[in-house]
Structures are given as C-alpha cells and as structure tokens.
Amino acid sequence: MPRVTRFYCASFFFCTAHAVAAEELRVLATTFPVYLFTRNVTRDCPNVRVDLLIPAQTGCPHEYTLTPQDLQKLAKARIIVRNGLGIDAFLHEYFARAAGNARVIDCSAGVKPLRANPHLFAGPKEAAMMVRNIAAGLSAQDADNANAYNAAARAYADRLLELNRRLAALGGLTRRKGVVLQHDALAYIADSAGLSVVAVIQEDEDTPPSAGRLVALTRRMQSEKPVLIISDLQYPDKPVRTLSRETGVPAVGLDTVAAGPADAPLDYYEAVMTVNCQTLETYFGQQ
C-alpha cells in the first residue's frame, strides 16, 4: 500500500508541474499590424497565445466602438499590446473603468512620429522599433521566454530594416521626388524612400476631400509637378483618380498594412512591403 501511495503522489506532482510549465499566456494585440508584429516576436513560444482585438479588416480604428465580444477578449488577456499615439484611443474608457490585471505594452514608446502621425507601423524602420518594444515588454512580464522573444525580435527587425534599406535606395536614384499622398499613413513609406510629400489629399481621417479641396490640389500639382499620386488601399480611390485625370500625374496604390486577412502568414508584412517597393521602383528607380 505505501508503494501505491508514493506512485500516485509522484504522478500528481509530475502532472501539476507539467500543467504549470504549459500554462497558456494570453496576449491581446489591439490592431492588425500590432498583431502581426507580436506573433512574430512570440513565434517560438508555444505556450503564448496571441489574439487580435478588433477585426483584421478594420483598418485604422480611430472611431472604433468596443463590442461585447471585444470586452470578453480584454477580460481574458494577461498582456495587451497596443499601437499607442491615439490609434487605439477607443480603449481609454475601458482602461479607466476596468479592474482587470492585464499589463499593457505601448509599442510606440520612444519612437518619434512624423508630425504627430500615429501610423508608425507603415514605415519599416518604425515597425522594427515597435517590434523591439514588444519584445522588451513581453520579456519584462515573462522572463522564462525572454531569450526567445528577443531572438525572434532581432531576426524580424533585421528583415524589416532590409526592406527600409530597399526603400531608402530609391531616394538616391531620382532627381524628382515629389509625391501626393491620399492619406498620411503613407508618409512613413514616403519618408523611408526619401520622397518629398507635396500634399496629403485627405486631411481628415474619415471625411473625403471637398470639391474645393480637389480644385486647390489640382492647381498646386500643376505648379509643383509631382511624379506620382499614391492612394492608400484601405480607402476608396475616387479622389485620387479625379486628380490623376485632371493633372495627368499617374496614380498607384500602396498598402500600409493597416488591415489584412485574419489568417495572415507571419511574413505578411514583408510580402506587402516588398510589393510596395516594386511599385515605387517602377516610377523612381530609373530616373
């Protein structure tokens, strides 16, 4: 009988230790690009589960309203990773009244934005800094996986910086660098490529430009002669097509990776930015 008792006790302690070791760490990313970055940082940590708070196709959620399903996700999360700089301001009220114990990682911390522009994720070099912030924040909360977080972040950041170097090469290949942007998220791609922003079409986040605004832009473009009009693929491109028709300046669409498929692969950001590079190289790589 004593031997049987010792056997069951040993089994109990083994199972308990195994359960503790395999305990799932639930991490919640507020936006699609932050979700991509966090998944890459945690890719070698099987006990870490990363979920996305808002639907992947939402885009920039400046006016987003939390749903009951969102609140359930927030309640289950041990760590919340947010973009910061106002993009996920829809969480302010939740944080003000919630009594949860989730830790918050602001991955914009220490990253200098362009002219108070919160869309850091659209620039590969800024995205690399966000990735490092995520790894540092996760390591502070989960020391057991710190080495894995930091190694994955270094490798991922290196790939993002290689994309930035490809974009940066464009600025040295062209004399004419002027572009008109549909939306200011595109300013990070233009900045990485060394391009000069002549104007931004959509001054307000959710309001299309007025007829008067389009007339003024047409006159400015006729005077300054930009090389390209760049639309943001998450917005309807009617004003871009109108300006292109009126001025004769060609128009292309770039993807800022503000939104994407719910089942996006880990290399989705790199794949999209590579296409962006190829598109810009068509117009700026041969001048």
Q: In this structure, are strands 103-106 and 178-181 parallel, antiparallel, or unpaired?
A: unpaired
pLDDT tens for residues 113-135?
998 999 999 999 999 999 999 99
CATH class given for the domain over 172-284: alpha beta
pLDDT tens for residues 191-207?
999 999 999 998 777 78
DSSP-assigned states of every residue in 164-200? HHHHHHHHTT-S--EEEESSGGGHHHHHHTT-EEEEE
Question: pLDDT higher for 155 or 208?
Answer: 155
Which residue in 94, 114, 24, 108 sits closest to 54, CA to CA? 94
Locate the domains of the chain by residue range. 2-166, 172-284
Q: CATH number of the domain at 2-166, out of 3.40.50.1980, 3.40.50.2300, 3.80.10.10, 3.40.190.10?
A: 3.40.50.1980
- Asked if domains 2-166 and 172-284 share a fold, the reply is yes
What letter does residue 152 receive in the DSSP assignment? H
pTM: 0.89
Question: pLDDT higher for 95 or 47?
Answer: 47
